[in-house]
Chains A and B, each alone.
Chain A
């Protein structure tokens, strides 16, 4: 089992709709989870971090964490064409050293 898994997509949603991105992870002891957005040819940009079970909202973004299910998701409300990018889930794994592992990413396309 891979350490961090995501649906690769592409995920297409119409402008104004809600985009839902999912991520599962294998290390039950992980405590910190992040969502990054990456545009083609650019480096990733941190958009959300979450550490506790439940929801965390920041503008149009909501991150959801369920540690029992080892599942983290990102909802994007009122999707805009500028949200079209690859979304990467990252997990700070609990090992003998600091280690942040990324999932394969989900490609999102918002159709005008």
Chain B
């Protein structure tokens, strides 16, 4: 149990394009999903927390208009990086949990490279 998938696993795009990353909980209903970003040799930085059916809560310093998060259903959350630039290149990881579990389970991550 507690399987979380992410798609795509990696993406390379040109500067100025938008990229959508999907996060799915495969065997449980995720009432809360978290989006993190991790730069090389650094820890996970929480970008935003989203609850199903409501707007995401963004951490300080994270531009909500640039990183659009949609938690449309209990099994799916999406992160869209709009007008991506090279400095947005990073490892983006989602995690999900339901009401009964205390720990959050991570997806495999998406490596974004913006040229």
Q: Which A residues have a C-beta under 8 Å from some C-beta of B? A: 32, 34, 36, 42-46, 49, 51, 88, 90, 92, 97-105
Chain A residues within an 8 Å CB radius of B103: 34, 46, 49
How far apart sit A46 and B57, CA to CA, in the bound complex (Å)?
24
**B28 interface hit (Cβ, 8 Å):** no
Question: Shortest Cβ distance from B34 into chain A, in angstroms?
Answer: 6
Chain A residues within an 8 Å CB radius of B57: 97, 99
**B104 interface hit (Cβ, 8 Å):** yes
Question: Shortest Cβ distance from A46 into chain B, in angstroms?
Answer: 5
| Interface residues as binary, B88-115 with A (CB distance below 8 Å gives 1, 0 otherwise) | 0000010100000011111111000000
Q: Which B residues have a C-beta under 8 Å from some C-beta of A? A: 32, 34, 36, 42-44, 46, 49, 51, 57, 93, 95, 102-109
Contact call B109/A102, Cβ cutoff below 8 A: no
Contact call A43/B49, Cβ cutoff below 8 A: no
Chain A residues within an 8 Å CB radius of B44: 44, 88, 102
Given contacts A43-B107, A88-B43, contact A51 B49 (CB under 8 A): no
Given contacts A102-B43, A105-B43, contact A42 B108 (CB under 8 A): yes
Chain A residues within an 8 Å CB radius of B108: 42-43
How far apart sit A36 and B105, CA to CA, in the bound complex (Å)?
10
Contact call B102/A98, Cβ cutoff below 8 A: no
Q: A42-B108, A49-B103 are in contact. List 5 more A-B contacts (CB 8 A).
A: A34-B102, A36-B106, A46-B103, A98-B49, A104-B43
